[in-house]
Amino acid sequence: MPDRPAALGRPGPAALDTACLEVRDLRVHFPTDDGLVRAVDGLSFRVAKGRTLGIVGESGSGKSVTSLAILGLHDGTRARLSGEIWLGGDDVVTAGAERVRALRGSRMAMIFQDPLSALHPYFPVGAQIAEAYRVHTDVARRVARQRAVDMLGRVGIPQPQRRADDYPHQFSGGMRQRAMIAMALVNDPELLIADEPTTALDVTVQAQILELMSDLQREFGSAIVIVTHDLGVVAETADDVLVMYAGKAVEYGSVEDVFYRPEMPYTWGLLQSVARLDRVRQDRLRPIAGAPPSLITVPSGCAFHPRCPYCSLTDGKGEAAVPALEETAPGHLVACHLPPPARRRIFAEEIKPRLQPATGGQR
Amino acid sequence: MLGYIVRRLIGVVLLLFVVSAIAFGLFFLIPANPAQQACGKACNPERIAIIEHKLGLDKPLLTQYGQFLKGIVAGRDYGEGTQVTHCPAPCFGFSFTTDQPVWELIKDRFPVTLSIAVGAAVLWLVVGVSIGIVSALRRGTWFDKAAMTFALTGVSTPVYLTGIVALFFLSATWHVLPYPTYVAFTDDPLAWAQNLIMPWFTLAFVFAAMYARLTRASMLETMGEDYIRTARAKGLPERQVVGKHGLRAALTPIVTIFGLDLGQVLGGAILTETVFGLPGLGQLALRAVFNTDLPIVMGVVLVAAFFVVIMNLAVDLVYAVLDPKVRYS
């Protein structure tokens, strides 16, 4: 893994060359009548060109807020942003609205969760894709339409010439998401953000869409950020994984690190709550106890401590101090007060056996 | 689509048929004897019998209804022998009070109602929708608050109050505008407009207020939709996000309501016409009700029903063009 970031904090200027997206200390706060909602609170990560980062976490962990922040889609009157979001030479946080608009759709694009509601019901699919092309490319209507038809063909819509005139409701769910992908890729963006791209789709279609995305990534060389709560999607597509909890990164590493050597109790919880047929049958799945924290009154210290079964092993640090995201192995970062040897022991002795497949040994 | 239109037109005819039956039923449901009404004050049983015979009231109910319908379609003759009065199609009979053919009265009055309705409709549509859009886009600002206060005032102020206040100040006190009399558009367009300004604003006030609220709600809902976020994510300038993607979806329901409201007003803006003393269909109907002038009531009811039903059909057809999800077959 040559271009995996060495550390998340302050990469040297050389690292900027390979990074497509770099987020530094991003904070997205929403002042409300009930108090300040800290949806994202000090998040840093990088994605290199041609690689895929999976951001996982429960609902309300700040995943989607992060993706909207990268695209500059937060309403400036309601959200307070700070930190840096570098896309090439532009900082989305400080750049002017007009500059960010020019980046949006051309150098960074987004695929949304529910393609039916994300496509305009009153315009033909082809016209919506052509429109996305014409915003950033000064071409004739006819040329843009041909481009839209080509893109629809590229994402596997049969008879694209004819289907381009169809309306979203005439497409099936999978085809709609293909059309969304075509729309997102119409300007060859460097960065593609997919926010729960398969959640609203039929399981049989999910795999096709994920495969299509990796195919297109190979072809276009874009960096992809997949935001999801579905660990299966991450295992399938991502190179690196960022686990978020209460607006902060709690674990970051390669897919192998996070799936086979996870060190943060929250990640353990996520992995254990996945239903799998190849695992030893348990009576029940093991959900993470408790509920996601309020983002207005985030628990003191480690935000996960009220739900963490191992908090008592931290000598009270869990309640007192916010753990730093520190490297535990090269490229593998964890924010946890448990001493690394203890984490590895607990994982090996308690957690790993529960994740083992029922037959065939270790994966 | 063509088959749909044909089916709907048949439906329109059937519906008007039902309305005509109900209107016809009025003749016999109300306690007054139509012949007595037609006869007037100086009357004796012999004259009533003659009138009953002339109007066909001595025939069976169904025959009478048949003749009534035939009159509308083909015209009919009243009386026999030398005393025949011909009533050409569409025949709604003769006024009990003035003996004029009802259709002629309606034809005379309709341009007044049409003038009031169209002018007011343009006004309320433009004003109401614009206010609604700006209010939605600037939700929570002073403009929004002022506009919604205006809208609440509008929907809760009846036409007879607005109209009388306008008349008192603009005509009677300040002499800015003439006391409205109807001048045909073809005679003098300027005087036509000058006389109708007050009725237009008065009628449009209520509707504009309603439309401002409707448009605002519809626009707010639309701007929160996922496809608006998609439009922004494409990098579209905000002007296009609102003007193309937002309005296209937000105004579609407004079109429906507009068609229905216009259809209703075309059948007679009773309050506006009465307050300003304009001789439109509404005023005709109102007077006819007071005088128990049944042929006129029936005629206006049928004409009003016709407009409502036709506008309904028009709205449905326009909707098929506006909303690709609606396909009639």
Chain A hits for B232, CB-CB cut-off 8 Å, are 73, 104
* pLDDT for the residue numbered A360: 42
CB contact under 8 A, A131 and B235: no
User: What distance in Å separates residue A289's CA from the closest CA in chain B?
Assistant: 33
Residue-wise DSSP of A274-285: S--TTB---SS-
Question: Nearest CB to A122: which of B226, B233, B249?
Answer: B249
CB contact under 8 A, A104 and B233: yes
* pLDDT for the residue numbered A354: 81
Q: What are the strands of the beta sheet with A332-334, ordered from one edge?
A: A108-111, A191-195, A223-228, A52-56, A240-245, A248-254, A332-334, A326-329
Q: Is the dihedral of CA A322, A324, A325, A328 positive or negative?
A: negative
* pLDDT for the residue numbered A19: 78
* pLDDT for the residue numbered B25: 82
Spatial separation of the C-alpha atoms in residues B119 and B73, rounded to whole Å: 32
Chain B hits for A105, CB-CB cut-off 8 Å, are 233-236
Chain A hits for B250, CB-CB cut-off 8 Å, are none
In B, what residues contact A, Cβ < 8 A?
225-227, 229-237, 245, 248-249, 252, 322-325
User: What distance in Å separates residue A254's CA from the closest CA in chain B?
Assistant: 29
Backbone phi, psi, residue A273, to 5°: -90, 5
Residues 6+ apart with CB under 8 A from B64: B24, B56, B57
Chain B hits for A122, CB-CB cut-off 8 Å, are 248-249, 252, 322-324
User: What distance in Å separates residue A143's CA from the closest CA in chain B?
Assistant: 18
Question: What are the tens digits of pLDDT across the range B108-118?
Answer: 999 999 999 99
User: What distance in Å separates residue A347's CA from the closest CA in chain B?
Assistant: 41
- Taking only Cα atoms into account, the Rg of chain A, rounded to an integer number of angstroms, comes to 21
In A, what residues contact B, Cβ < 8 A?
71, 73, 101-106, 109-110, 112, 114, 117-124, 131-132, 135-136, 167, 169, 180, 183
* pLDDT for the residue numbered A16: 47
Question: Nearest CB to B324: which of A122, A132, A180?
Answer: A122
The answer to which of A91-95, B16-20, B53-57, B163-167 has the lowest mean pLDDT is B53-57
Question: Nearest CB to A118: which of B226, B237, B252?
Answer: B226
CB-based contact B65:B19 (threshold 8 Å): no
Question: Nearest CB to B233: which of A71, A123, A169?
Answer: A71
Chain B hits for A117, CB-CB cut-off 8 Å, are 225-227
Confidence grade of residue B26 (pLDDT, cut at 50, 70, 90): confident
User: What distance in Å separates residue B135's CA from the closest CA in chain A?
Assistant: 16
Beta bridge mates, A242: A55, A252
Question: Nearest CB to B325: which of A118, A121, A135?
Answer: A121
Chain B hits for A119, CB-CB cut-off 8 Å, are 227, 230
Chain A hits for B237, CB-CB cut-off 8 Å, are 101, 135
CB contact under 8 A, A105 and B235: yes
Residues 6+ apart with CB under 8 A from A296: A32, A34, A35, A36, A37, A38
Confidence grade of residue B291 (pLDDT, cut at 50, 70, 90): confident
Chain B hits for A33, CB-CB cut-off 8 Å, are none
Residue B261 CB coordination number (10 Å): 19
Question: Nearest CB to A73: which of B229, B248, B323?
Answer: B229
CB-based contact B219:B133 (threshold 8 Å): yes
Kindly identify which residue of chain B lies nearest to residue A98, measuring between CA atoms.
B237
Q: Is the dihedral of CA B143, B146, B147, B148 positive or negative?
A: positive
Of B28 and A292, the structure prediction assigns the larger pLDDT to A292
CB contact under 8 A, B226 and A136: no
Question: What are the tens digits of pLDDT across the range B190-227?
Answer: 999 999 999 999 999 999 999 999 999 999 999 999 99
Interface probe for A, chosen from B223, B227, B229, B323 (most Cβ of A below 10 Å), is: B227
Chain A hits for B248, CB-CB cut-off 8 Å, are 120, 122-123
Question: What are the tens digits of pLDDT across the range B270-282?
Answer: 999 999 999 999 9
How would you label B195-206 residue by residue, b for 16+ Cβ within 10 Å and e otherwise? bbbbbbbbbbbb
Of B19 and B61, the structure prediction assigns the larger pLDDT to B19
Chain B hits for A114, CB-CB cut-off 8 Å, are 226
User: What distance in Å separates residue A227's CA from the closest CA in chain B?
Assistant: 16
Question: What are the tens digits of pLDDT across the range A130-187?
Answer: 999 999 999 999 999 999 999 999 899 999 999 999 999 999 988 999 999 999 999 9
Backbone phi, psi, residue B88, to 5°: -70, 160
Chain B hits for A124, CB-CB cut-off 8 Å, are 324
Residue ranges, chain A, pLDDT below 70 = 1-18, 276-284, 357-363
The distance in angstroms from the start CA to the end CA of chain A is 20
Interface probe for A, chosen from B138, B230, B240 (most Cβ of A below 10 Å), is: B230
* pLDDT for the residue numbered B48: 82
User: What distance in Å separates residue B248's CA from the closest CA in chain A?
Assistant: 8
CB contact under 8 A, A73 and B233: yes
CB contact under 8 A, B234 and A169: no
CB contact under 8 A, B252 and A122: yes
* pLDDT for the residue numbered A363: 43
CB contact under 8 A, A104 and B230: no
The answer on pLDDT for B327 being more than 80 is no
Q: What is the mean pLDDT of chain B?
A: 89
Q: What are the strands of the beta sheet with A90-91, ordered from one edge?
A: A35-48, A19-32, A80-87, A90-91
Question: What are the tens digits of pLDDT across the range B67-110?
Answer: 888 888 888 888 776 777 888 888 888 888 888 899 999 999 99
* pLDDT for the residue numbered A18: 66
CB contact under 8 A, B249 and A117: no
